[in-house]
Amino acid sequence: MSANINIKKTNRFIDPALYIAFGATGFVFLGLIASAFFGKVLFSRNVRVAEQEVVKIEALKLEPQLVGALRIDAKASIPNNHGVVYEIQLLDKQGKLIASATKNAWRESGIWYEDGESGTWNEDDLDAGLDVRAKKGEEVTVAISVLEYENLSGGKARSLTTFSVDDVIGNQANKPKATTNSVNFDVKITNGVVDGRHLWPGLFGTSALAIMTFIAAPRSGKKVISKTINDSDPSERATLGGADKLVRVRINVTSDETSPRSMQARLVINDSYGEQVYSKTIPLNLTFHREEGKLEKVTGFAQQFFILETQDSYGFHVEVTPDAPVDETTLTVLDGSHTRIPVEAVHIS
């Protein structure tokens, strides 16, 4: 029986799971990019709210929608070492409260001393936000309410004053009143906003799975031969192959400090009658492991892909040369393996 051998590059065995897993990551990434373009700003202004007061901001129609929700964001502007408890409220057409969400906002700073060094620190938490969805169309009014406003260092709470052009030219009527404490809020109302909080875990999760798929792809297939011997010539027989299966043969060698600069492995494949169908000497890819400049050991690796047209019993023989420094040789054969990239495969028919 004479074997017909030809070598060709093939992408037939690239694992389709790689495309799917990386595609899933790409899909979430696109979702993240696209989410930035959703949302229409309905209102963005500075609003002044006095303590114990409710200020209606904007009346709008809330409709059930397929994508996104109404997002109300507010940021309090308060002096240093002050705290404000404020609420985002939703009122119905009659002015009745139908939803409220509270934020404890604060701004503090001070001086720290440590080991003879000192500096200032500055911290705040002033942002509030509420996303709202409606099950049926409804007219709602967004309002901001200040429940509590205080000076955290114990004194009387101060208001941050704002001056308009009228103040500068001396219009008394527009001067901020000193008697009631009020807080300025930057309020922004956007409709159709996508909740990005769900996309980040999705992006990390799918990326992790794509990497796992990438790692697992070349390890796929049925391990029909896995033989390790403390010598240079492992040999084993197994039933494998078939026109649509990629056979991956791996040779791993460990050798001692007397190893030369280059080593080879002769790989021989015999058919079920013991007749040789393939023989090739493959150079080993060597890694020199040194410890404090001294050569400790050398590891070598070679890999070869085959498409064995007929499924049958095949014998695999490896001979590493030179064999004197070889401590251990492992022969691994994976049947029905997959690849990440197109590979050169030896087609034997």
Partner 1 sequence: MLTKVFAGIAVLMALWSVTDAYTQKSAFVLREEKQANFSPRRGTSLSGSYGSNGTWIFVPTRSTYSGFQGGGPGSGK
Q: Identify residues 129-148 at the interface with partner 1 (CB under 8 A).
A: 129-136, 138, 140, 147-148
| Residue 39 binding partner 1, by CB under 8 A | no
Q: Which of 15, 271, 319, 335 binds partner 1 (CB under 8 A)?
A: 15
Q: Which is nearer to partner 1, 4 or 120 (CB)?
A: 120
Residues in 309-338 at the binding interface with partner 1, rule: CB under 8 A: 338
| Residue 156 binding partner 1, by CB under 8 A | no
Q: Which of 3, 42, 54, 216 binds partner 1 (CB under 8 A)?
A: 216
> By the 8 A CB rule, do 196 and 131 touch?
no
CB of 232 to partner 1, least distance (A): 32
Residue 247: beta bridge partners?
A: 306, 335
Q: Which is nearer to partner 1, 121 or 273 (CB)?
A: 121
Tally Cβ neighbours within 10 Å of residue 188: 16
| Residue 209 binding partner 1, by CB under 8 A | yes
| Residue 171 binding partner 1, by CB under 8 A | no
8-state DSSP, 174: G
CB of 316 to partner 1, least distance (A): 23
| Residue 13 binding partner 1, by CB under 8 A | no
Residues 6+ apart with CB under 8 A from 263: 253, 255, 283, 284, 286, 298, 300, 320, 321, 322
Residues in 244-283 at the binding interface with partner 1, rule: CB under 8 A: none
Query: Which H, E and C letters describe 175-204, residue by residue?
Result: CCCCCCCEEEEEEEEEEEECCHHHHHHHHH
- Separation CA 325–CA 343 (nearest Å): 31
Q: Which of 47, 49, 57, 69 binds partner 1 (CB under 8 A)?
A: 69
Q: Which of 44, 46, 104, 287 binds partner 1 (CB under 8 A)?
A: 104
Q: Contact region for partner 1 (CB under 8 A) — 40-48, 98-106, 237-245, 254-262? A: 98-106
| Residue 342 binding partner 1, by CB under 8 A | no
Residues in 17-36 at the binding interface with partner 1, rule: CB under 8 A: 17-18, 20-21, 24-25, 27-28, 31, 35
Sign of the torsion formed by the C-alpha atoms of 49, 55, 59 and 65: positive
- Separation CA 242–CA 308 (nearest Å): 6
Give the amino acid at 66: L
Q: Which is nearer to partner 1, 248 or 315 (CB)?
A: 248
Residues 6+ apart with CB under 8 A from 125: 104, 105, 106
Rounded-to-10 torsion of CA 218, 220, 225, 226: 70
Residues in 72-91 at the binding interface with partner 1, rule: CB under 8 A: 73, 81, 83, 85, 87-88, 90
